[in-house]
Structure 1
């Protein structure tokens, strides 16, 4: 019997007060769908004490785990703003650049343009003389009907995946795992093995 595919589970859960619990629940769910969560467990040399060096140490460790993973499933729920966590976006791009299957999910089903116009610009957008939608700062408002920046949606699409959108109660927006479970089911059905 072949070994299960290794999944890199990207997302901002490490920052949550209940982060360890949420990460462990994500890993258990991943195993239930026949995959192996591939995570850095802090093995190796002792980490440096200086904060910048410690950050570089974690970055390198995560990149090593991504290289050793077969696919990525990224939590794209807006985090500290209107878009996905920037670290998660980097990890998604890293995996897509290696040509690995990519899937995503979000607990905010609104598209990027709805979050940009509603949450960031508070509805104050107007078309300019050429018909281009612009915010109060004059910047163009892109509308491609996508979950996030077109590079996020495009990378997932080109690498065979989908983005699952769900609406959850606001108190659970960062730790509800229903969309992850749906994403795992789709990945299991689409991928060999």
Structure 2
């Protein structure tokens, strides 16, 4: 039985356990053994010790998985969750099959401009409030390093949700 690791910012939802349990059940209904970030064995540690243990356990779960499916929707801003970005890169480096899903496939500059304040710059590109140009107009919907990690792993970035990815995997 193939195994899936679910990456994404769902761990930060108020109903995270319920949400990830439903996602896990959905994957299992498609015939996959499924891990979520909550499946690691994190003891009663606190602070950085707990954070380190969560990191170690999530890495271990990715290593035990055949496939990583990542929620690539914007999180706390205009771009993908940092932890999810790491998990995609780590899975790619380990030779795992990686899929991502988004609910909006506009280009990255369009997505960023719709979520944060930008203005036109003399370069012809938009610029954000922090002074960074939106000059990544290659047609990708997420950071190119992440999108090509997904594509080069043999996976794809799917418009839809977790179930949309599972249907592709059939």
TM-score over 0.5 for the pair: yes
Summarize deviations over 1:2-60 as a string: whole Å, max 9, x none.
xx11100001111111211110110011011121102453437x3423x1111001100
Pairwise mapping of residues 53-68 of structure 1 onto structure 2 (< 5 A)? 53-68=49-64
Give the TM-score normalised by the residue count of structure 2: 0.89
2:162 is aligned with 1:180: yes
CA drift of 1:127 comes to 4.8
| 1:135 equivalent in alignment to 2:127 | yes
Q: In 2, distance between residues paired with 1:153 and 1:43? A: 30
Equivalent residues, number: 167
Q: Structure 1 length normalisation: TM-score? A: 0.79
Residue 89 of structure 2 aligns with which residue? 93
Which runs of 5 or more residues in structure 2 are unaligned?
none
Match for residue 71 of structure 1 among 36, 56, 67 = 67
Partners of 1:159 and 1:8 in 2: how far apart?
Answer: 15
Q: Identify the range of structure 1 (103-112 vs 7-16) with the bigger mean alpha-carbon deviation.
A: 103-112
Structure showing greater radius of gyration is 1
Residue of structure 2 in register with 1:23 after alignment:
20
Q: Partners of 1:153 and 1:41 in 2: how far apart?
A: 26
Q: Is the Cα–Cα contact under 8 Å of residues 102 and 161 in structure 1 kept in the other structure?
A: yes
| 1:149 equivalent in structure 2 | 143
